[in-house]
Structure 1
């Protein structure tokens, strides 16, 4: 099982590397792109938190994503004091081109499982995610109470 998880992580890492290369961005920018795809428009501070970056690193990543035409800053129509970062049409298209077929294939694979099996897989993934988050905090030097 551990080998299968490691192989999946390595395959995901390779896809991310190839995607970043294709888009002309770095891996940090790609992480921001991923968070915008998953969560929709975010303020810079929300994006920083979601991506696990400092404010300065996030500003730099947003600048690069804007130069690449993948994201843009837009004033919030509900609160003009807020500025949101969101994917451009080009950004949404790039995400669909790269990850759309992967998501479609994964969906087809998941249809092979029953509800009980899917619940078990989801439970495993949630535990694995908590484990990864805990060790990311450890590697950042954070303690349990931080």
Structure 2
């Protein structure tokens, strides 16, 4: 764990002498040197522990690797499995036209016929406006 040296020099710099500043700087350097002396001991400990750690890791890596090439048939089975379309079981009879439709969904046949009726109403409204405009001119 690194020792963090908090200095009050920025706050007291006008009041302190250069000798005091140098002694605090020396204290920080000394603390770093003491910490760095213990580093070779730690690195030796880590170096001794790596082979046992890698041995356990190496065994699991060897077990996780496929031993033979996957055949074409197995690849195709895996790619094609479970992707088929499912049958629609919730069908009912449309009360308006009698055609089969999905439950809780509008009947597509009736929607098309409603669009046709809407277009006819819009066309009739346009013709009526033209007729009213022609009647007001004469």
Scaled by the length of structure 2, what TM-score is found? Answer: 0.23
Scaled by the length of structure 1, what TM-score is found? Answer: 0.22
Structure ranking higher in helix proportion: 1
